[in-house]
Amino acid sequence: MVQRYPMTPEGHQALTLELQERKTVERPRIIAAIAEARAHGDLKENAEYHAAKEQQGFSEGRIQEIEAKLSAAEIIDLTKIPHDGRIVFGVTVEIENLDTEERKSYKIVGDDEADFKLNKISVNSPIARGLIGKREGDEVKIETPKGVVEYEIMQVLYL
Q: What does the pLDDT look like over 53-94, one tens digit per residue? A: 999 999 999 999 999 999 999 999 888 888 888 999 999 999
R_g over Cα of the chain: 22
Architecture of the structural domain at 78-157? Roll (3.10)
Of 92, 110, 107, 112, whose CA–CA distance to 17 is shortest?
A: 112
Of 31, 25, 32, 19, whose CA–CA distance to 61 is shortest?
A: 19
Does domain 5-75 sit in CATH 1.10.287.180? yes
**Per-residue pLDDT, 145:** 81
The tens digit of pLDDT for each residue in 2-31 reads 678 899 999 999 999 999 999 999 999 999
* pLDDT interval class at 40 (50, 70, 90): confident
- Region label for 96, one of left (φ > 0), alpha (ψ between -120 and 50) or beta (otherwise): beta
- DSSP of 97-159, one letter per residue? ETTT--EEEEEEE-TTT-BGGGTEEETTSHHHHHHTT-BTT-EEEEEETTEEEEEEEEEEE--
Residue type, 44: K
Of 86, 63, 94, whose CA–CA distance to 132 is shortest?
A: 86
Burial of 27 (0-12, 13-18, 19+ CB in 10 A): middle
Q: Which residues pair with 92 in a beta bridge?
A: 107, 157
**Per-residue pLDDT, 3:** 78
Q: Where are the domains of the chain?
A: 5-75, 78-157
The tens digit of pLDDT for each residue in 84-133 reads 889 999 999 999 999 999 999 999 999 889 999 999 999 999 999 999 99
Between CA 82 and CA 59 the distance in angstroms is: 40
The domains spanning 5-75 and 78-157 adopt the same CATH topology? no
